[in-house]
Structure 1
C-alpha cells in the first residue's frame, strides 16, 4: 500500500518537480502579502487551507497532461518527456486508465475542497477555483488543449494569477484589477520555467507539429525572449514603485539584476535536463527578495 502511494506521489508530482518545493512559496505568497497589506491582518487559516487545496489540482493537471500527451502521440518512448524524467507509462508501467482515474479522483478532491471553502470564504473562491480546474484540465484536455496550440506559457501565467487571486478572494473578500497588477510581475517571471523546458524540447516539438512559442521564435529568438522577460519584470518593479502599487523599498530588488543577467546568458549552456531547475532557482531568489522587501514594508508601517 505504501509503495502504491509512493508511486502515485512520484507520478503526480513528476518526482517532486511540479511544483518544485523551492518555487511553490513564491508562487502563492504574493496573494498573502497583498492580503496582509490590504487588511492589516495575517489571515493564515484561509491561506494555509487554500495552499493545500491547490496541490490536488496541480497533481491532477500533471496526470491529465501525461494522459493526453500519451493518447495524442506526443509522449513516446524516445520523446524528451520520457528521457528527462520518470514517465509514468514508460518508467512505472502504469496504464493510461490509471492516469485518467487518478486525475479524476484528485479533481474531485480539489473541487470538494473548493466548494467547502467557498461556504466559509465566499462565492468568488468557488468561481476562481473552478476556473483554475478548467485551466488545468484544458492544458491538454479536449476541447481547449491549449498546450498543443502553443499557449502553454499563457496557462502558467494565468494559473499563477488565479492561485493568488483565490487566496486574496478568501482573505480580502474582494476582486479588483489592482490585485491582478500586484501579482503580475510574479506571474510573468513564472512562465520562464515552462519556456526553457520547451526550449529543450524544441526539435521534438517542431517534428511533432507542436507550435510552441519556442518553435515560433526559433533558437536565437527564444534566448532573447528570456532576457526580455527579466527586463519586463524589473521595468514593472520600477514602474510600480513610482505609482505606489509597490512601495519604494521594492526598488532594492534591482540588486538581484546581476542574477537575472547571468541566468539569461547561461541557462542554455548547461545540461538540458537541468534547464527548469536552474531557471526556477534563480527566479525563486529574485522573487524571494521582492517578497521580503514587501514584507519589510508592512512591518515598517506597523512600527
Structure 2
C-alpha cells in the first residue's frame, strides 16, 4: 500500500508544484504591497491551484502515453519517475484520478468565485480548459507549437492576476507587468524540454516551437527570452513598477549563464530540470524582493 501511495505521489510530479506556489505567492505579495492581505484567501487559492496543477500533470501524462510521446525510451522517463510508463499505474486509473483532482480544484474555485466575485470563475474555467486542451483531443495544442505560450499565460498573468483578484476583487496592471518575467522563465522549462526532444517529437509527428524553428534558432529564442526576462526586471525597476529590492533577482544570473553555456554546446538530457532550477531561484528571489517591499 505504501508503494502505491508513493507511485501516485510521484505521478502527480510534486516537484513541479514549486512553480505554482511561486506564481500564487507573487500575486499575493503584489496584493500585499497594494493593500490588505488575507492569509486564509491566499491559502485557499494556493490549494486550489495545486489541485488543478496535479490534475493537469496526470492528464497530460495520460495523453502523452496514449499518443506514444512518452515511452520507456524517452528522455523524460529516463531522468524522472514516470509510474504510468513504468506500468506501476493503470491508464484508466490515472485518467480517473485526474478527473477527481479537477473536480476538487473546480470546487475550490467555485467557492472563491462565490466569496470574491464571478471573474474568479471565468479565470478558473479558462485555466481548466487550457489544462485539458493542452494534450487532450481534439485540440491538443501542445502538439501544434502552442505549449510555451500557454504555459506563459497560465503561470504568468492568469495565476498572478487571479490571486490578486481574490485579495482585492479587482485586476491590476501592477500585477500583470510583474507576472511577465516569471511566466516567461516558466515557459522556458517547456522550451528546453522541446529542444532536447526534437528528434523524438518529429518521429511522433508532433510540431513544437523547437521543431518549427530548428535546434539553432530554437536555442536563440531560449537565449533571447532569458535575456528579456532579466531586462524586463530592470525596466520595471527604472519605471517604478518594482522597487530596488528586485535587483536581487540578478543574483540568479550565474545560473542562467551556466545553463546557456552548456546548452550552446549540446542540449543535455536534463535541460528542462536545469531550467526549472533557474526558474525556482529567479522566482524565489523575485518573491523575496516583493515581500521586502511589502514589509519595509
Give the structure-2-normalised TM-score: 0.90
Q: Are 1:227 and 1:261, in contact at CA under 8 Å, matched by a contact in 2? A: no
Deviations 1:76-98 (A, max 9, x none): 44333433333333313433211
- 2:237 aligns to what? 241
Q: Are 2:152 and 2:183, in contact at CA under 8 Å, matched by a contact in 1? A: yes
- 1:74 aligns to what? 69
Deviates more, 1:82-91 or 1:183-192: 82-91
The gaps in structure 1 that reach 5 residues or longer are none
Deviates more, 1:111-120 or 1:4-13: 4-13
- 1:5 aligns to what? 5
The gaps in structure 2 that reach 5 residues or longer are none
Q: Distance in 2 between matches of 1:128 and 1:107?
A: 14
Work out whether 1:131 is the aligned partner of 2:126.
yes
Residue 281 (structure 2) aligned to one of 273, 285, 296: 285
Work out whether 1:29 is the aligned partner of 2:29.
no
Q: Distance in 2 between matches of 1:10 and 1:202?
A: 26
Q: Give the paired residue count.
A: 295
Work out whether 1:116 is the aligned partner of 2:111.
yes
- After TM superposition, the structure 1 = structure 2 runs for residues 1-303 of structure 1, keeping only pairs within 5 Å, are 1-13=1-13, 16-19=14-17, 21=18, 23-39=19-35, 41-160=36-155, 161-267=157-263, 272-300=268-296
Q: Are 1:26 and 1:288, in contact at CA under 8 Å, matched by a contact in 2? A: yes
RMSD (Å) for aligned C-alpha atoms: 2.2
Runs (4+) of structure 1 moved beyond 4 Å? 267-271
Q: Are 2:12 and 2:55, in contact at CA under 8 Å, matched by a contact in 1? A: yes
Deviations 1:150-173 (A, max 9, x none): 111112111112222221111011
Q: Distance in 1 between matches of 2:211 and 2:161?
A: 31
Question: Cα offset for 1:225?
Answer: 1.9
Q: Are 2:27 and 2:161, in contact at CA under 8 Å, matched by a contact in 1? A: yes
